[in-house]
Chains A and B, each alone.
Chain A
Amino acid sequence: MSTPNDDNLVPVDDAEQQLVAYLDGELSDDERIVVEARLADDYDYRQRLQRLERAWDMLDSLPRMEASGSFVHTTVEMISLAASQELETIQDRRKSSTWRVLTITLAASLIAAVAGFAWVNYSATSENQKLLTELPLIENMDRYQKVDEVEFLEQLRKEGLFVSEVDDGV
């Protein structure tokens, strides 16, 4: 609630404010009785009231305008246009919303597919990696099965038993 700072063209005292409120029928019964008692006794106060009242009555001379005959018709047309624009906007929103849902669904499917492929690919690759790592073991599985302990094999290697099997391309 702000009070305009340019409302003070004419200083207004409390008495004037009470008179205006009295004319507007905005006083309580007690306030009205006080104003009427003063009006009965105070000529100047009565003059102020009459001037306020006369100035107020003069507002009846303000020119009055009539709406043109087409006012309602043109307003209804304008509103119809606005309504159809609203409808278009709603339809556009629905369309774009449908497209958005489709796009999101498609993107989600694509992401899921890529993620699935990546997972499968990773799993397969890690299986192959494991096989590659363990290839020497697999190749010599038959031999290892005939041997009870790794320490025995280690001893045989130290004695140069596997030298001939080193594939160095020479």
Chain B
Amino acid sequence: MSITESTAKRYELQDPDVRLMLEVRDDNAAAFEELMLRYQNRLINLMHHLMGRREQAEDLAQEVFLRVYRSRKSYKPGSKFSTWLYTIANNVASNARRSMARRKEVQVDGNDEGGIGPANPLDRIAKAASGQMPTRMIDRAEMGEVVRLAMETLNERQRMAVLLSKFEEMSYADIATTMGMSVEAIKSLLSRARANLKTALEPYLEQGAKPPAE
């Protein structure tokens, strides 16, 4: 789909990151560094939660920035910069998952559990929940682990949609653009994902356990 001049102009005016990327297109290294500083943590976290591998997250984020650099000469703003960036990130993550599948690697979680305990995340959550004393608040690290396991119950697309919605605060329309789906499909995908999360976290919701404040 070709991007009209008026669309490009509109995004250039609205989005400071688009303006930075246009400077990158003109080989401004400082602008590229600024974009990296703005997005590095967000991208690394996205990759970490998508792939479940801490050590892989930085490599994949670097791959995304490399692709941004390589695409600079053909860049034309047809959306917010973040939407464009996460579209690249989605492709990089998909490729990484495909090559992992080809290598028949088993997804290992971030904290080196080494496959101990039930393989099914839902069973592991239930196991974790059974160890909870109803009267105590579970600490943040425990809660983080429980939520991470709950995220594992989602398929790749649900996980991506959840991460973009929750942490990037993207609209359904932007998520649809990023993932190459329709807005209706995203609406359905997110409602299923959130229903799955609710089901996975049910034991904690029942106990009224809440993550403690920072």
Contact = CB atoms under 8 A, between A and B. Distances in A.
Interface of A: 1, 3-4, 6-10, 12, 16-17, 19-21, 24, 26, 51-52, 54-68, 71-72, 74-76, 78-79, 82-83, 86
A20 B185 CA distance: 13
Contacts of A9: 153-155, 192, 196, 199
Interface string B30-54: 0011001100110011001100001
A90 to B, nearest CB: 12
Interface of B: 29, 32-33, 36-37, 40-41, 44-45, 48-49, 54, 57-58, 61-62, 65-66, 69-70, 110, 140-141, 143-144, 146-148, 150-151, 153-155, 157-158, 162, 165-167, 171-172, 180-182, 185, 187-199, 201, 204-205, 210-211
* Binding site secondary structure of chain B: helix
Contacts of B45: 64-65
B165 A24 contact: yes
Contacts of A66: 41, 44
11 contacts: A7-B158, A12-B191, A16-B195, A17-B191, A21-B172, A52-B195, A59-B147, A67-B41, A71-B62, A72-B37, A76-B29
A8 B157 CA distance: 12
B62 A74 contact: yes
Contacts of A8: 192
Contact of A21 (B153, B191, B199, B205): B191
B18 to A, nearest CB: 20
A20 B191 contact: yes
Contacts of B140: 61
Contact of B187 (A26, A60, A71, A72): A26
Given A59-B162, A61-B143, A24 B192 contact: no
| A interface majority secondary structure | helix
A10 B69 contact: no
A19 B57 CA distance: 33
Contacts of A16: 191, 195
Given A56-B166, A82-B70, A26 B192 contact: no
Given A1-B181, A71-B58, A74-B62, A62 B49 contact: yes
Given A61-B144, A65-B57, 15 more contacts: A4-B155, A9-B153, A9-B196, A10-B192, A20-B190, A20-B194, A24-B165, A54-B201, A56-B194, A58-B204, A63-B144, A66-B41, A72-B36, A79-B66, A82-B66
